[in-house]
Every structure is written in structure tokens, then in C-alpha cells.
Amino acid sequence: MAPSETAILSNFLLAPAPLPTIMSLQHFTELFPKRLRSHPHIRVLYRELQEIREQDMDLVNENIDKETVQGDRQKAELRKSLMKTGIDGMSASDQREMDMDVELFGQTNSMSDYHSVPSLLDAMQAACSNVEREVAEVDREASSLLSNLNDLVGDLSDLRYGKMQGPAGTTGDEVVNEAIRGLQNLENATISRQVSRSRQPHPSTMPSITLHPRASRSPSRVPNPLPQLLQTPSGLALLELQGTINIPSQDEATTSSAEAPDASVFETPIGKLMFPDYSPQDPADDTAWMKRVYLYVGRYQRITGEVKKLPKPLAIVQRRAKPAGSAGDDADELEVVEVVRYKIYFKSRPEPVNDI
């Protein structure tokens, strides 16, 4: 059973209102300084406050009773107004819904919100007329749609059985022949366009060049115009440094080249590469030595790095010499000179070492 208005207000306003519920005597005593907590007047003061609180609660209880009486009066007035409108035979559920409306939305004095018997009949007749009008409109739309479908089916039937009708003065065979000629013209135009496109060079076609594999080593070593690559115990490697290599100026290079036996060769020494952990006696698949590589720069600096395998090997290619007697306009050919599979990576700063 739903709680009454009196029970709701009492539980909300009166139940938590007594002073002992809010604050006990011990808590009230702790609010005073320690030297005064044992004073007998503290208990007397607490009792006086409790009595004042009870008087306030009695006043609130009287107001709750007045509010309940006023609510019952409003409900009775609502029932009388409903009886005047001609509504009779309300059940308990109807009465409960009406009481709920009054509680939620309040009492209304306007009689226009309720239907009388004549107004209810007029509203029902208007609703029936609207429904009949909508049904008639739907029937007309259905008839129009059915007529269109019948015409479409008839046209398709003529097409199936060869009863095609062209312009005035033409027969069905002439219409069919005209359609066939149009399709043939479309096919011929499409074929000719494809042929013309195939004859034109494609703009995205890249030029091709012949690439020869690496030649086998011959006893007589041919001079290699490419710079010498770094050599690790496992093969060729690239050197990656996070720094700048200072190349001698042009004047210094010319002077050094003049003093060298072969004036066409100029070398710039960078340093000495060492693999301290490598041993020829280790297995071929042992890669522990790759974790540490030294590059000695000068006599007092050393850089520590490591050997890493490239994700994709790099091929060093060069232009292949043309045989004697070949035409000058022949296409160039390339050949693979070396394949690089490793790189030596130095990422740390140089560290000082003793004289090597």
C-alpha cells in the first residue's frame, strides 16, 4: 500500500528532528573547553535545548495535520467537479489515477480540460471523418499504382513477343533493325577508340635498362672505379656516423696528389676499424662479435659502435663498358659490382684513449 501524505511528511520532517538524533549529550559536552566539561549546567543547557526542539516538532506536526486536511478537502472538491461534468461510475483505479494527477499537477479550476458528452461525440465524429477521408485517398493512390503497373506489364509483354511499335508509318521489324544498327555502331566506335589508345605510348611507362649479375672473380684484378667499401668478417658493410668528416681543401688535395706515386688516386684516412670480440675459431653463425666495434680516429680517440644487418641488401652497380665496335646510340647497361648486407653504426661520442 502506498504511504499516505501524513506518513511521508512525518518521516521526512519529524523522524530526524529530535536533538538526541542530531547530537548526543557526550558530543554536546565535547564542544566546551576541557576545564568546563564537568560543569553541571552543561546537562541543564542540553535539556533546555531538547525541550525547545520538541516544541518545534509539535508545531511542525500541527502543520502536517493542517496540510492533510487541506489535501482531503481538495480531493473532495475535485470529485464534486467531476460529478458535475457527467462522468459517473469511476472505479478504484480511475480514482487512484485522478488522485495521482492532483498530486503531481495540482488542482485546476478550468473546466475546458474535460469533455462533456456532446463535445466527446463531436470529437469522435470528426475523427471518424478524418479516417474515412484518409482511407479514400489511399484507395485512389492504390488504383493509380495498379493502373501504372498494368501498363508497364503490357509494354513488357509487347517487347517479349515482338510487338514493338515505333513512330507512325513504321513496322515492328524496322524498329528492331534500327536498334540493331545502333548497337553495331556503338560497338565499332568502342573498338576503334580502344585501338587508338593502345597505339599511343603510356605516359607512366618508365624506361628500362639491362642489369647484369655480379661477374665471377678473375685472377687478374680489374681496377674498380668505385670507392672501397668497409670489410667486416661477415662481408661488406656501410659506415654510419653521426658527425661530419672534414675533407681536406682542394689545395691540400692537389699537393698530396702531386707527391703521391699515382697522381690520379687521392685518399683521406679516417681511422682504423677493429673488431675486438671476433675470433676466426668461432663458428660462422656466431654473431656475438657484432655487438662491439671500435673505430680509432687519430691516435687518441675511439668511437664504439656495433654491426647491424640491413633489412634489405644493397647492390653496388656501375656502368658496363661497351664492347668495341658497338654503336654509340646503344642503350647503357649496368652490372652488379658488390652486395652490401651489413652496416656499422656509431651513435656514441668519441672517447679518449691512450696512444695506439
Per-residue pLDDT of the chain (356 residues; tens, 9 = 90+): 677 888 888 888 888 888 888 888 888 888 888 888 888 898 899 899 989 988 888 898 898 888 888 888 888 888 787 777 655 556 677 778 878 877 776 666 555 566 678 888 888 899 999 999 999 999 999 999 998 888 888 767 666 665 555 565 666 677 778 878 888 888 888 888 777 766 665 555 556 777 777 666 544 454 555 455 667 776 677 777 767 777 666 665 555 555 555 555 566 777 888 888 888 888 878 888 888 888 888 778 888 889 888 888 888 888 877 777 666 666 778 888 888 888 888 878 888 888 66
Sorted by sequence, the CB contacts under 8 Å of residue 343 that are 6+ apart come out as 237, 238, 239, 240, 307, 308, 310
Strands 351-352 and 333-346, how do they pair? Answer: unpaired
Q: Mapping DSSP to helix (H, G, I), strand (E, B) and coil, where does residue 329 land?
A: coil
Name the amino acid, one letter, at 27: H
pLDDT, residue 257, reads 52
pLDDT attached to residue 220: 47
CB 10 within 8 A of CB 64: yes
Chain centroid to Cα 112, Å, comes to 56
Cα–Cα distance, 45 to 25 (Å, whole number): 10
pTM value is: 0.34
CB burial of 185-222 (b: ≥16 within 10 Å; e: otherwise) equals eeeeeeeeeeeeeeeeeeeeeeeeeeeeeeeeeeeeee
Q: What is the pLDDT of residue 207?
A: 63
Say if strands 235-241 and 230-232 run parallel, antiparallel, or are unpaired: antiparallel
Phi, psi of 83 (to 5 degrees): -65, -30
Three-state DSSP state, 221: coil
Taking only Cα atoms into account, the Rg of the chain, rounded to an integer number of angstroms, comes to: 54
What pLDDT sits at residue 102?
78
Give me the pLDDT at residue 137, please.
93
Q: What's residue 132's pLDDT? A: 94
CA 71 – CA 95 distance, rounded (Å): 15
